[in-house]
Structure 1
């Protein structure tokens, strides 16, 4: 069963900038820069028939390219931090694309996504022994970087290895934004 999700690829020059922020946080498992992405809709482990139905359904998306802005670092998890992320400004075209993908996934029979969409690029996953103080110290030193903007001209269907919580991620199918 493939583990699938849809997302936006991060251009190489922005990945290089983000990768320079790695290190300096004990207990962090840093994501490989080749695997940086912005998840639009996590799909999960599904059978091959459903995977094919999803892949063909995604061709229905008819949207224009749009700009994506990365702005600063933050963390997820509050007092028990789980991840360090690059924050993404939630623009109208991004939110609308994500909402359309959510509707399409429900039409093929998937349950609604349980979490509110918070656009971000995961840079590191954190083990349970990483303190919120360590994360706050890291963010105070490395949390600012000049905004980075790129044009999203396509989204992709990714597959991931099951149970590892990470890459390598494989682009299974690209979907151009050309409306």
Structure 2
């Protein structure tokens, strides 16, 4: 089963993001948007994990301690700016968010889950280039669409989607469906 660990976002943030995406979609059609109900803040992508070992994750994730903290969802940008493939909403948070991601990474490493080799870059993915090909692939039909989206976003004032308090994180399962990935919360882990 395909798993990841993430924060969910509050409904008022989700609505503002959905309104923003709807405005952009009317200006730049044919972008592969992430459905609003699928938006989350990834703390750790696990990937494929044996279902028979699922019971090992809950105890280690339950040991993670931390207090609730605020996150603000502001700005929008692209990975990478010169060759945009992912359109994201930015996240501003204190050290608590990075510390939580590091604690999750540390907790699951003894289970054979690879340690992160990149710096934690918190964001909400709003849209992706739809090729599914590796970075730098020669044939990416959505490249002009993503450049068009980038031009529209850069011409607009920076968005502010609001602030929320993270009080819990979740273990999610990701299943592929014809309409895109479907995320299901498997376990809840409170903060504080």
| TM-score where L is the length of structure 2 | 0.84
Residue 66 of structure 1: CA displacement? 0.5
**Structure 1 residues without counterparts, runs of 5 or longer:** none
Relative to 1, partners in 2 of residues 1:143 and 1:28: Cα closer, same or farther, differing over 3 Å?
Answer: farther
Q: Secondary structure at the match of 2:52?
A: helix
Q: Which has the larger radius of gyration?
A: 2
Residue 82 of structure 1: CA displacement? 1.5
Alignment of 1:13-52 (within 5 A): 13-22=12-21, 23=25, 24-52=27-55
**Structure 2 residues without counterparts, runs of 5 or longer:** 131-139
Alignment of 1:25-174 (within 5 A): 25-127=28-130, 128=140, 129-131=142-144, 133-142=147-156, 144-146=158-160, 148-162=162-176, 166-174=180-188
Residue 137 of structure 1: CA displacement? 1.1
Structure 1 segments (4+ residues) deviating >3 Å: 162-166
| TM-score where L is the length of structure 1 | 0.89
Residue 25 of structure 1: CA displacement? 2.9
Residue 142 of structure 1: CA displacement? 4.5
Q: Secondary structure at the match of 2:75?
A: strand
Bigger drift between 82-91 and 98-107 goes to 82-91
Q: Secondary structure at the match of 1:54?
A: helix
**Alpha-carbon separation, structure 2, partners of 1:31 and 1:130:** 17
Residues 60-95 of structure 1, C-alpha deviation per residue, up to 9 Å, x if partnerless?
A: 011110001111111113332121111011420001
**Alpha-carbon separation, structure 2, partners of 1:106 and 1:93:** 20
Residues 112-161 of structure 1, C-alpha deviation per residue, up to 9 Å, x if partnerless?
A: 12332110011111233223631321212456222511000000011101
Residue 165 of structure 1: CA displacement? 10
- 8 Å Cα contact 2:84-2:150 kept in structure 1: no
**Alpha-carbon separation, structure 1, partners of 2:70 and 2:4:** 21
Tell me the matched-pair count.
Answer: 177
Bigger drift between 153-162 and 129-138 goes to 129-138
Once superposed, what is the RMSD of the aligned Cα atoms?
2.1
Q: Secondary structure at the match of 1:169?
A: strand
